[in-house]
Amino acid sequence: MYVASALAASLLAFAVWWLKSEHTPTMAIQVAQTFLERMEARQFEQAFELTVKRGYVGRTPDELRAISISDLASCLSGRPAYTHPFQSNGNRLRRFIAGREMDMPEVIVEFAGGSCLLSVFVRKTSGNTWRVSRFASHAG
């Protein structure tokens, strides 16, 4: 009886911990990281394919190149540090049960470790693909 109670308490504690734990949007992070790697390699055409192809990232690879000169000059060597907004596993489960889209429509991937901080905004587009909608360096 004590073993069953201890097991039930342990499972409950694990469930509470898991529900409150942060979900890591790996696909959004991967797209942001690949985008920056291609920008660093000056492969603007390939980097452009990972964008929404309008607005803050430009409508052509040449526009992307021009935009990147001011925002990426010294920030490319960073690694993903965190994402925003926070989304817990419990929130995703709640959205799934309600029949709603589980992923946030836009995730900000913050990169640190270069000479400055860099935000890459990744938006979920039709077809369930993640695309870079904008990026900017900023102070910490």
Contacts of 84 (CB under 8 A, 6+ apart): 107, 108, 110
Query: Looking at residue 76, what is its pLDDT?
Result: 67
- Calculate helix-pair angle for 89-97, 2-20, nearest 10 degrees: 90
Which has more pLDDT, 31 or 138?
31
Q: How do residues 9-48 score in pLDDT, each as one tens digit?
A: 899 899 889 889 999 999 999 999 999 889 888 899 999 9
Q: What is the pLDDT of residues 54-113, one digit of tens each?
A: 888 999 999 999 888 766 666 666 788 889 999 999 999 999 999 998 988 999 999 887
pLDDT score, position 40: 85
DSSP assignments along 15-79, one per residue: HHHHHHSBP--HHHHHHHHHHHHHHHTT-HHHHHTTB-SSGGG-SSHHHHHHHHHHHSTTTTT-E
- Domains in the chain and their CATH numbers? 23-138 (3.10.450)
Reported pTM: 0.83
pLDDT value for 35? 94
Predicted local confidence at residue 90, as pLDDT: 92
Report the alpha-carbon distance of residue 135 to residue 114 in Å, rounded: 15
Q: What is the DSSP letter of 127?
A: T
Region 107-129 average pLDDT: 87
Whether the per-residue pLDDT at 126 is higher than 90: the answer is no
- Please report, in angstroms and rounded to a whole number, the separation of the first and last CA atoms in the chain: 54
Instruction: Please name the amino acid found at residue 80.
Output: P
Q: How far apart are CA 140 and CA 116, in angstroms?
A: 8
> Residue 2: is its pLDDT beyond 90?
no
- Token digits of residue 131: 């695309």
